[in-house]
């Protein structure tokens, strides 16, 4: 699903103009991005949590020159933890084996 798909679907269900829906969706995503960029945790109930975690420094290997170690510095990354309802819905997709 793309942002466009989301806007069209919301517009069809609510009767709102697509431009208005797009403005609200885009503003929502902008606010989430800005908060995460400041290091804040964004919690959307029944959906999930966006948070910033710092990965530790580690040693990697260059596949072209495996004898040479490459130092990978610590860095901040965005993590998403799905909410309970989303987890349960996704688990239902698990094929039986």
Q: In this predicted model, what pLDDT tens digit does every residue of 25-57 receive, in sequence order?
A: 999 999 999 999 999 999 999 899 999 999 999
Shared domain for 27 and 52, answered yes or no, is no
Shared domain for 21 and 59, answered yes or no, is no
**Side-chain half-sphere exposure of 81, counting CA atoms within 13 A:** 9
Shared domain for 18 and 52, answered yes or no, is no
Question: Domain residues for 74?
Answer: 40-97
Shared domain for 30 and 45, answered yes or no, is no
Which pTM does this prediction carry? 0.78
Shared domain for 49 and 96, answered yes or no, is yes
Which CATH number goes with the domain that contains 62? 4.10.520.10
pLDDT (tens digit per residue) in 3-23: 999 999 999 999 999 999 999
Shared domain for 65 and 34, answered yes or no, is no
Overall domain count for the chain: 2
């Amino acid at each position: 699903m793309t942002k466009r798909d989301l806007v069209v679907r919301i517009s069809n269900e609510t009767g709102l103009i697509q431009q208005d829906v797009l403005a609200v969706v885009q503003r929502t995503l902008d606010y989430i991005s800005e908060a995460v960029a400041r290091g804040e945790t964004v919690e959307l109930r029944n959906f999930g949590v966006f948070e910033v975690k710092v990965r530790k420094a580690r040693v990697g290997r260059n596949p072209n020159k495996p004898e040479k170690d490459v130092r990978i510095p610590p860095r901040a990354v965005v993590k998403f933890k799905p909410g309970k309802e989303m987890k349960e819905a996704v688990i239902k997709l698990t094929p039986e084996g």
